Structure formats: C-alpha cells, structure tokens
Structure 1
C-alpha cells in the first residue's frame, strides 16, 4: 500500500478485519473500523466501548466510542496529518466520504476495496488446508444425507438433515450457513430457496451448500435423480459433467481465467444449450463463500498458485428442471487439485 502512496487505510468489512487481525466481530449497527498505517506497519481499531479489550488482548490499540458519541469524530482525530487515505469504498457509505471531504478537505481518498480483496485471492498452505477440510466434511455430510433423498421427503427435510450432518463435525462454525435444496422443476432456478416441495419419482434434486470450517468455506453442488430421470435430464447432466471436467482441465498457473469459463461454456453451447447456461463458471472461496476471483469469460486476469475457486457450470430449463455440478479447486505449482471427492458420474447420481 505504501508503494502506491497510501499512508493509511480504513477497513470495515468484518471478514477483512478478521483477515488482518484474527478478530471476528459483528458490528450490528455500530461503527467498527480497522485503521492500517502503511508507514510504520501499525494498526488500531475504532470500536464501541462495549467491545472493550477485544483488540487490546491481541496488542492492537483501541479507540473506543460510547453509544452517545459520534465515532466518526474519533476516526477523524486519528486521521489528522494523513495526506492520502485508502477507503474500503464498497463497504463504507457515501456519507462517510462526505464527512472526510468536509472535515479533512486536503486529504486525498483512494478506493482500496480491490487492493484489499486481491490480498485474499492468494491462500497460504494453512488457509488451503482449512478449505480442504471443509470440503472433506462436505463429502462426509453428503454421504450421510444421501439415503434420505427419496420420494415423499421435502426440500426442508434434506436441508435440516444436511445441516445436522455438517454441524456435528468438529470445528464447523454454525453461526452462518448456506444450504440450498431444490427438487423437480425448481432445480431450474440456480439461486432458489428451500421450501415445502415434496420430491416425486423421476425428480432431479440439486443440493448446493457450503461447509464453514474454522472460518473458511467450501462450496459444493451435486444433482441427484430419484429413480431414472427424463431422458432430457440425463442428456443435460452428461453435458454439464463434460463441461465441468473440461474447465477443471484448463486450470494451471499462467492461464487467463477466462479460458476456464470458456472451456465449459463452449461445450454447453456446442450441445445447443448455451442460452440456458446463465451464470459464470465459478467464483473464489475462502473467508467468504463468494469472493475473488470471478471466473467468467471476460476475466483477463492470470491464474496463479494459491488461488482457490469453484467450477460449477449448469444448464437450467424453465418449467422443466436443471443440473449443476460444483467442485472446489486450488491452483498448484504445476496444475490443479480438486478438493472435493464425492462421485459425480451419471450413474452414481441415480437414487433407488
């Protein structure tokens, strides 16, 4: 940050504060910020007084504000003499920027959002192992839940069973979860919500979920079939699987990210279903279940060792059903490692 002329940076997203400090905090409506000083490698936290000592126990100075005080005034005092401030502009409000301009008109503001986000793109070995463990737990939870997916059970039944299986694993965090279970025609909605739909014979059932282990996410999707499905579902499943495997094969250092997306997209388009592949091929995972990099056909950024992201092509046919297959991959020194191991061949997806 110093090499870009930024003297101080104000960080607000709780996950980014955790990334820099190891402190997990939920600010609710109160003002919380981490102030980084690039000149002397120093940081401090602006905190509500009720959070006293949450940072100081880690050796981080605290600037406390009571509920009847304006926390921004405390922040402005800490910024006296700063000429160039990096701001996480995709988190803080325009109102805060206006206060900076009014009270410190000579201070230059720079958007540091992407700079901070880019730091999190590259995972070290400890982070990769946490994501890998989350993926292993995802395999185990799915194996424990699979036999419950049958005609007469509902989406909510499977959602609760999957949550129970995941939450029982050591180290899994349960204060946040993502579990999508959709059946029948509802699988044509890539971001639908669980409801009371009861599965029927021949249905596709899509399970898309993340395991949150030690504050790091995996992200996972398998599409099952309750008995032999409609021939068109079999067709699109095999196309999506071919597309996913082709995308995984592209992953290695030095390759433009867009080539991963295009490898999957071109197979689906060639099969005549291009208009029904309605999202990017993947996204980064880590402290958040969706983060950089974004794996789409316009992304010219280059894959580098330590990047971790999903590969999840899909085909969604309105009023009929859909298929998505998702795995997590890490870019290694010489290629790619797939972190999930649950089967995905067509015959393994057919449930008795």
Structure 2
C-alpha cells in the first residue's frame, strides 16, 4: 500500500485507546499479528501477502514507543506510515530474530493474538518469552466505528448498490453463473472498488439454496431466479449485499411468497434495532416473523454480522450473541429462506446503529 487512509493522529488515538484497554486487562505489552488489527492501529498493510505468511506485526508498549516489525520487502511501505527509528526489519531466521527483538524491547509478559498466530510461531517464541493470550482487545475497539469509518462504509455500500441496480442487465439468459460473476466484478472495479471484499456468490435456482454457493457453469435461463451476494472494498472498507432476482416476467407464487416473507422479516428486525437492544433480540425479531408464517426452519443462519475492514467482524447477530447494540456499530441484516428443491431467497442491508434506532447505509431502503 501507499500512504495510510487516515492522518497519523487517528491511528495514534486508537493505540492510546488500546493501551487503556490493555491496562484494564492487566496487560503491559501486546504483539498485534492479525492483519486487519495491524492496519487499524497503524495504516500499514491491510492484507498479509499469503495465508501462510505475515507482512508484519505491531508491538504495543506501555511507554507509547510502539514498534512496527516487518521484513525487507515492506521496508519502504513501513517508512511511509511509521517512524524509521521504530521499525524493526527481520530476515533470515525470522522466529529467532523476532524473539530476540521482543525480549530486548519489553521486560515482562507479552500478550499475543492467538487467533492470528500459528502454533509453530507460538511454540518458537515461547521458548524464550513469557506469552499471554490476549484476544479481543483490538476487536473491542473496532466494534464501534468512528465517524470517518462510517463515512467510508457509506461510500463503499453505495458503490455496491450501484452494482446491484445494474445487475439485471448482467443477469441475461445464456450466461453462466461464473460469467455473470465476472461481469459484476468488472462493474465493482469500474465504479472504483480496489477489489472484491469476498468471493462472489451468483447462484441460479436450486444452487441458491446453498448460502455460500460458488458460481459455476449453470446457465441463467428465461424465467429463473438468481441470488447475488457480492461486496467490494473502497478506501479500505468492505461492503456486502445480497439481492435475489427473477429473470423473466412470470415469477412463481412460491418465489414471491418467500421474497415477501424474507423482506418482512428484515423489516421487523430493522424496527427493533436500537442502542441497548440485546444483539440476539435482533435475530429473534426476524425469526419470530418467519415463525408466524411457519417457515422458520428454512432460516438456517445468523441474521447478520459486523462489517468494516473485514467482511465478517464483531458483533455476530445470532441467537447466541452476547452484549447489546451500541451507537456506531455497523451490521448487516440479511435474513434468508432456503428450499433445496427450488432455491433460496436472501435480502441484505447494511445499517449503522444510531442514537435512536438505525440507518441503512448506501441506499434508499429499496
């Protein structure tokens, strides 16, 4: 990446807020290895280069002289967002060099993000270091979006809406799911997205009964249903929308009924979303709507999830969710009904929790 998306003081304030959370947790130092957390705190490298490689880590220290650890490939990128004197470049025997640096940088236990660290790396580090699991400290900050983050999510969701409004022109009989997915991806790029935020879903008829269907060779035909679930990334932030289309002019009654019930369930959830609401109650509102129609067994997943630097982040909007909704949380609301014999319906909005309810981002609510 080039320069950070936000001014340096934004990242500095986030690190100070993290330090306060660390003190409350009795943790004096934290090694941040999860890529999105690293980016959130520094503006450095949103992605790791490969799933089995790391672009670098942050060492958060009690004195505020935090360190950015990376390898020579990323040295120039690191200098663009971080003071040279606080960059540590490792190469060669990576585990040994990082371990030696950490031991010299902090005299005491170091917290680690176990969900983002391999067993191999942890095993090597703990040979000479006192490591303490400290997951959730950064994610706790990321749950509540800052105004500039909400603005970014508004823009990226509006871009997604433009793609969905153009989708009927793409979903033409004779095109395969894969071909349609590629043309929709091109639209994301044409409208300014830097990339897709997750692998696209374009599913025809019974394939749409698979919530995470992969676009394949199935052809779009005249008078068929197509479920599209896609998102893009703009200014570092993700969008995520699902729409279910009928290709043709004669949608059958079972399709219309399922679509109506899905949108009704979504509306019931949107009505109750507000600060202080137990998160699980948002799910229950949608579930109860389906239950009134006797179709609740066809609703097989959570109502939604947090979204931001990652497509799926806290909080999960599920029946097992803990905690309450707070102003500044941004979540998806995406109920669905799935019938293996003919397909599935899903309809998705992204909303920000406001002081007195919620607001749909990037669209008019259509």
Name the TM-score, length of structure 2 as normaliser.
Answer: 0.87
> Which segments of structure 1 move beyond 4 Å, counting only runs of 4 or more?
29-32
| Equivalence for 2:8 | none
Query: Quick check: 218-227 or 80-89, which moved more?
Result: 80-89
| Equivalence for 1:70 | 94
* Uncovered stretches (5+) of structure 2, i.e. residues with no partner: 1-21
- The question of 1:234 aligning with 2:256 is answered yes
Alignment RMSD, CA only? 1.9
Shift of 1:118: 1.4
| Equivalence for 1:53 | 76
- Could you tell me how far apart the structure 1 residues matched to 2:23 and 2:109 are? 10
Shift of 1:32: 4.3
Is the contact made by 1:6 and 1:38 (CA closer than 8 Å) also made in structure 2?
no
- The question of 1:17 aligning with 2:38 is answered yes
| Equivalence for 1:305 | 327
| Equivalence for 2:127 | 102
Return closer, same or farther for 1:44/1:318 CA change in 2, 3 Å cut-off: same
- Could you tell me how far apart the structure 1 residues matched to 2:102 and 2:111 are? 14
Return closer, same or farther for 1:282/1:52 CA change in 2, 3 Å cut-off: same
Name the TM-score, length of structure 1 as normaliser.
Answer: 0.90
Deviation string for 1:85-131 (max 9, x for gaps)? 21110010223332343213xx2x33222122111111111111111
- Could you tell me how far apart the structure 1 residues matched to 2:260 and 2:39 are? 41
| Equivalence for 1:348 | none
- The question of 1:82 aligning with 2:103 is answered no
Is the contact made by 2:29 and 2:61 (CA closer than 8 Å) also made in structure 1?
yes
Which runs of structure 2 are paired with 1:246-325 in the superposition (5 Å)?
246-325=268-347
- Could you tell me how far apart the structure 2 residues matched to 1:161 and 1:20 are? 35
* Uncovered stretches (5+) of structure 1, i.e. residues with no partner: 345-352
- Could you tell me how far apart the structure 2 residues matched to 1:258 and 1:31 are? 35
Aligned residues: 339
- Could you tell me how far apart the structure 2 residues matched to 1:319 and 1:175 are? 30
Return closer, same or farther for 1:41/1:210 CA change in 2, 3 Å cut-off: same
- The question of 1:40 aligning with 2:63 is answered yes
| Equivalence for 2:221 | 200
Shift of 1:306: 0.6
Secondary structure of the structure 2 residue equivalent to 1:79: helix
Shift of 1:165: 1.3
Deviation string for 1:1-57 (max 9, x for gaps)? 122221111111222111111111534344444233341122112211232232233
- Could you tell me how far apart the structure 2 residues matched to 1:88 and 1:130 are? 27
- Could you tell me how far apart the structure 1 residues matched to 2:143 and 2:351 are? 13
Query: Quick check: 304-313 or 16-25, which moved more?
Result: 16-25
Return closer, same or farther for 1:99/1:69 CA change in 2, 3 Å cut-off: closer
